[in-house]
């Protein structure tokens, strides 16, 4: 099993959580960053990589909007 730590902007946490539930990915909230993002650790198998890419893309889209 692989693990990925993702910093999720608060503005998209609900959408992020929906994707986690949709793909039934094991996850844990690890804390928050100084910038107010929520640190989420996601565990996944190799076959679930595409789901993790989708999560990362969602976060990147919201992060790009901030810049």
- What are the pLDDT digits (tens) for 27-36? 999 999 999 9
What is the domain count for the chain?
A: 1
User: 12 to each of 1, 40, 44, 47, how far by Cα in Å?
Assistant: 26, 13, 21, 25
Against a cut of 0.95, is the pTM above it? Answer: no
Which band of pLDDT confidence, cut at 50, 70 and 90, is reported for residue 64?
A: confident
Question: Any idea what the CATH number is for the domain that residue 13 is in?
Answer: 3.30.1370.10
Q: What is the pLDDT of residues 5-34, one digit of tens each?
A: 999 999 999 999 999 999 999 999 999 999
Range of the domain at 7: 2-66
Which band of pLDDT confidence, cut at 50, 70 and 90, is reported for residue 63?
A: confident
């Amino acid at each position: 099993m692989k693990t990925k730590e993702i910093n999720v902007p608060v503005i998209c946490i609900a959408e992020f959580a929906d994707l986690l539930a949709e793909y039934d990915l094991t996850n844990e909230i690890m804390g928050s960053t100084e910038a107010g993002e929520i640190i989420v650790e996601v565990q996944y198998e190799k076959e679930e990589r595409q789901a993790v890419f989708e999560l990362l893309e969602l976060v990147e889209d919201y992060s790009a909007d901030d810049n």
